[in-house]
């Protein structure tokens, strides 16, 4: 059993790369492995408590003679749903629900989890599935044309901007009364996570969506610095602890045939993706002041802000930022940074990291799995680098998470004829065991203990698919509302072989370091959102243009600094900062 991990700071949003496919065309789920079937056949049916529902809580207790026999098929995940999920409608009822699929994820209509849920509840969901690469455009078309389904599911299905726009128009229905009458589990969530209550309330005072809690401490520290320890050993070098030492290491990587293949010119000392929230160079700024903050995807306008003692700070106008640019420029000008990093996409970046013959000496990345399987063990995470031996510890980029706490998760539209039944169906997902079963699916469950610990068969599928990829592709995973706490993730999901190395890295190097906090997810009014997207995105483009020019040495930061600040003022910088502060204060309840 994994130990409970460190406490988390919650808050807001991360975006995925979002081609549409109809659900009916999806591939069928992969077959359960023989090993999983064999293990399941010897496992007793679970005896854990049923998910709480309004219907279940209002029923009179039955006598022992009236209690039906437990279903015991030897498949604990299936049996749990059959034995503990209540029927929500005497007659079969059907709803249409839009969902955005992740890459390689199966059609939700084919998933055993939803098929078994339908048997138990008498509720059929006709999923309208869209590939996430085009979901945003398709969603906007559905809403604009009025051709939308009964509901939208998943925390990326809708934004608070959507809810603030379409809720008051009557497209989405208010759900406060549904929550009060039918959603016992979600009431508990709101009580335990009061920030979600305010964050999920639209500006007209109504709630139009159930929210999502998906705590994972590794997401607080998305960018970890890795270095090739084998290359260090080949050259007789120590792991660097300062930016000065790191410069010398990268210089040796560049000049001394660090990979030992006889060619001193094929090593890439350091590579990156410019302005990326995980794979960029934002962490290096922490040696000189606040870490840079890149928030890709939906939150571009919030980039370059950090929060210091509840005050928002726009990093690119600070003297520490200027110092960092000048120091980092030396790395670029001396050929120690991969110049492709300023223009390459994620595919090119990953291709370099995952080359079986190591090409890259160092990179910021999510974890060691980014490197080739054959040589991943050559790479080690290292402590965030301080400026010099005499400097204080470097700050680390701490994302007040854009995934852990989301105001969205499921929204009901005015097309829905039986919202009270759908509300009870939604509420099932906020039960702890149902959260786990919706996350990793029911096909690979080998046991559910009396205290609710869910164990999985983690063997590789016959086609060679890893357990982790298998469950992500054949279960709802992150695309359903849930209440996944740190305790649930690490105390109630029993996984023997999947060890998240990033947890140890975060605990060892990041948790106790000085923190550069990014903005949390924040709820903007339509007017605020319009200004942020107008000014914020324009300012971001200008800041990042100048940042690249200064790092590449095509322009001089000292010569242009005053002009740069004046240009930002022309973009109404102070209004941008003041508005961001106002929204932040409102978000945290000040």
212 and 233 in a common domain: no
432 and 567 in a common domain: no
Taking only the tens place, the pLDDT of each residue in 283-293 is 999 999 999 99
Residue 298 forms part of a structural domain: yes
Decide if pLDDT at 21 tops 90: no
The reported pLDDT for the residue numbered 198 is 83
Domain limit, last residue, from 498, 513, 534? 498
Pairing of strands 93-101, 123-131: parallel
Taking only the tens place, the pLDDT of each residue in 180-197 is 999 999 999 999 988 888
The reported pLDDT for the residue numbered 258 is 97
Pairing of strands 305-308, 311-314: antiparallel
201 and 89 in a common domain: yes
Helix H or strand E segment including 396: strand 396-398
Q: Which domain holds residue 348?
A: 222-398+524-588
Mean pLDDT across the stretch 379-394?
97
* Number of domain units in the chain: 2
Whole-angstrom distance, CA of residue 7 vs CA of residue 20: 38
The reported pLDDT for the residue numbered 144 is 95
Residue 265 forms part of a structural domain: yes
Taking only the tens place, the pLDDT of each residue in 209-226 is 999 999 888 888 999 999
Task: Read off the CATH number of the domain in which 354 is found.
Answer: 3.40.190.10
8 A C-beta contact, residue 155 and residue 298? no
336 and 442 in a common domain: no
226 and 81 in a common domain: no
Decide if pLDDT at 32 tops 50: no
Which is more confidently placed, 63 or 4?
A: 63
Dihedrals phi, psi of 356, to nearest 5 degrees: -55, -30
226 and 208 in a common domain: no
Strands (E), 281-377: 305-308, 311-314, 360-365
541 and 409 in a common domain: no
320 and 442 in a common domain: no
233 and 182 in a common domain: no
The reported pLDDT for the residue numbered 168 is 96
Residue 515 forms part of a structural domain: no
Q: What does 505-574 look like in DSSP terms, one character per residue?
A: HIIIIITTS-EEEPP------HHHHHHIIIIIHHHHHHHHHHHHHHHHTSS-HHHHHHHHHHHHHHTTHH
The reported pLDDT for the residue numbered 97 is 98
Taking only the tens place, the pLDDT of each residue in 168-182 is 999 999 999 999 999
Domain limit, last residue, from 462, 483, 498? 498
Sheet with strand 493-494: strands edge to edge: 445-448, 454-456, 493-494
Q: pLDDT band for position 2 (50/70/90)?
A: very low
Whole-angstrom distance, CA of residue 535 vs CA of residue 527: 12
Taking only the tens place, the pLDDT of each residue in 478-489 is 999 999 998 999
Taking only the tens place, the pLDDT of each residue in 105-141 is 999 999 999 999 999 999 999 999 999 889 999 999 9
The reported pLDDT for the residue numbered 57 is 52
340 and 436 in a common domain: no
What is the three-class DSSP state of 413? strand
Q: pLDDT band for position 229 (50/70/90)?
A: very high
The angle subtended at Cα 453 by Cα 449 and Cα 459, nearest 5°, is 100
The reported pLDDT for the residue numbered 104 is 86
Residue with the two structure tokens 């699916």: 441
Whole-angstrom distance, CA of residue 500 vs CA of residue 493: 13
Decide if pLDDT at 500 tops 90: no
Residue 360 forms part of a structural domain: yes
Taking only the tens place, the pLDDT of each residue in 555-589 is 999 999 999 999 999 989 999 999 999 988 888 77
Taking only the tens place, the pLDDT of each residue in 248-280 is 999 999 999 999 999 999 999 999 999 998 999
Residue with the two structure tokens 């209509």: 109
The angle subtended at Cα 289 by Cα 542 and Cα 321, nearest 5°, is 25
Mean pLDDT across the stretch 69-92?
95
Strand partners, 455: 447, 494
Decide if pLDDT at 40 tops 60: no
Which is more confidently placed, 35 or 80?
A: 80
Residue 17 forms part of a structural domain: no
Decide if pLDDT at 48 tops 60: no
The angle subtended at Cα 6 by Cα 5 and Cα 11, nearest 5°, is 115
Q: Of 433, 497, 435, 431, nearest to 470 (Cα)?
A: 497
8 A C-beta contact, residue 333 and residue 553? yes
User: Within 10 A of 443 (CB to CB), how many other CB atoms are there?
Assistant: 25
Whole-angstrom distance, CA of residue 96 vs CA of residue 66: 35
Strand partners, 172: 413
Whole-angstrom distance, CA of residue 258 vs CA of residue 235: 6
Whole-angstrom distance, CA of residue 111 vs CA of residue 372: 31
- Is the pTM higher than 0.85? The answer reads no
Whole-angstrom distance, CA of residue 503 vs CA of residue 339: 31
336 and 447 in a common domain: no
Whole-angstrom distance, CA of residue 211 vs CA of residue 163: 12
Domain limit, last residue, from 463, 498, 533? 498
Mean pLDDT rounded to a whole number for the chain: 87
Q: pLDDT band for position 295 (50/70/90)?
A: confident
Taking only the tens place, the pLDDT of each residue in 502-548 is 989 999 999 999 999 998 888 888 788 888 888 888 888 899 999 99
Whole-angstrom distance, CA of residue 123 vs CA of residue 126: 10
366 and 345 in a common domain: yes
Whole-angstrom distance, CA of residue 152 vs CA of residue 429: 15
The reported pLDDT for the residue numbered 26 is 34
Residues contacting residue 42 through CB under 8 Å, at least 6 positions apart: 74
Residue 303 forms part of a structural domain: yes
Over pLDDT 90: what percentage of the chain?
70
Token reading at 473: 């592709």
Range of lowest pLDDT (26-40, 164-178, 439-453, 575-589): 26-40
Whole-angstrom distance, CA of residue 262 vs CA of residue 285: 34
Residue with the two structure tokens 């990179």: 363
């Amino acid at each position: 059993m994994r130990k409970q991990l460190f406490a988390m700071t919650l808050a807001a949003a991360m975006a995925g790369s979002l081609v549409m496919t109809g659900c009916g065309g999806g591939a069928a789920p992969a077959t359960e492995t023989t090993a999983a079937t064999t293990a399941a056949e010897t496992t007793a049916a679970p005896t854990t408590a049923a998910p709480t529902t309004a219907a279940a809580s209002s029923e009179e207790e039955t006598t022992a003679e009236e209690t039906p026999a437990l279903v015991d098929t030897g498949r604990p995940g299936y049996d749990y749903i059959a034995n503990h999920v209540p029927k929500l409608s005497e007659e079969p009822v059907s709803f249409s629900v839009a969902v955005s699929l992740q890459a390689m994820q199966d059609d939700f209509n084919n998933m055993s989890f939803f098929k078994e849920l339908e048997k138990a509840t008498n509720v059929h969901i006709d999923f309208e599935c869209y590939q996430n690469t085009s979901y945003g455009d398709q969603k906007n078309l559905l809403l604009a044309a009025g051709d939308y389904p009964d509901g939208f599911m998943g925390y990326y299905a809708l934004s608070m901007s959507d809810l603030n726009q379409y809720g008051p128009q009557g497209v989405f229905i208010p759900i406060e009364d549904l929550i009060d009458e039918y959603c016992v589990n979600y009431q508990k969530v709101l009580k335990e996570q009061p920030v979600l209550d305010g964050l999920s309330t639209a500006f007209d005072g109504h709630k139009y969506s159930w929210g999502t809690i998906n705590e994972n401490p590794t997401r607080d520290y998305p960018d970890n610095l890795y270095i090739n320890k084998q290359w260090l050993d080949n050259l007789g070098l120590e792991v660097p602890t300062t930016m000065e030492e790191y410069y010398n290491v990268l210089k040796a990587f560049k000049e001394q045939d660090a990979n030992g293949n006889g060619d001193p010119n094929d090593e890439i000392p350091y590579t990156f993706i410019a302005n990326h929230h995980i794979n960029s160079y934002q962490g290096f700024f922490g040696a000189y002041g606040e870490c840079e903050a890149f928030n890709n995807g939906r939150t571009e306008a919030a980039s370059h802000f950090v929060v210091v003692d509840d005050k928002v700070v726009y990093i690119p106008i600070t003297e520490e930022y200027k110092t960092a640019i000048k120091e980092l420029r030396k790395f670029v000008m001396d050929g120690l940074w991969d110049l492709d990093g300023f223009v390459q996409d994620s595919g090119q970046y990953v291709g370099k990291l995952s080359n079986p013959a190591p090409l890259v000496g160092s990179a910021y990345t999510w974890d060691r799995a980014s490197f080739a399987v054959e040589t991943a063990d050559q790479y080690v995470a290292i402590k965030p680098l301080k400026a010099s031996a005499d400097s204080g510890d470097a700050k680390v980029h701490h994302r007040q998470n854009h995934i852990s706490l989301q105001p969205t998760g499921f929204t009901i539209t005015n097309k829905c004829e039986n919202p009270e039944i759908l509300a009870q169906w939604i509420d099932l997902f906020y039960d702890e065991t149902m959260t786990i079963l919706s996350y990793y699916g029911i096909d690979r469950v080998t046991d559910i203990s009396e205290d609710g610990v869910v164990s999985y068969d983690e063997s590789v599928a016959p086609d060679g698919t890893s357990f982790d990829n298998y469950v992500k592709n054949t279960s709802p995973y992150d695309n359903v509302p849930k209440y996944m706490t740190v305790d649930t993730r690490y105390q109630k999901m029993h996984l023997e072989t999947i060890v998240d190395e990033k947890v140890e890295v975060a605990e060892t190097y990041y948790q106790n370091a000085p923190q550069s906090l990014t903005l949390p997810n924040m709820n903007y009014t339509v007017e605020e959102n319009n200004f942020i997207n107008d000014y914020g995105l324009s300012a971001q483009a200008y800041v990042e243009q100048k940042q690249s020019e200064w790092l590449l040495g095509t322009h001089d930061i000292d010569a242009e600094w005053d002009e740069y600040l004046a240009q930002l003022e022309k973009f109404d910088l102070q209004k941008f900062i003041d508005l961001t502060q106002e929204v932040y204060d409102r978000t945290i309840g000040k």
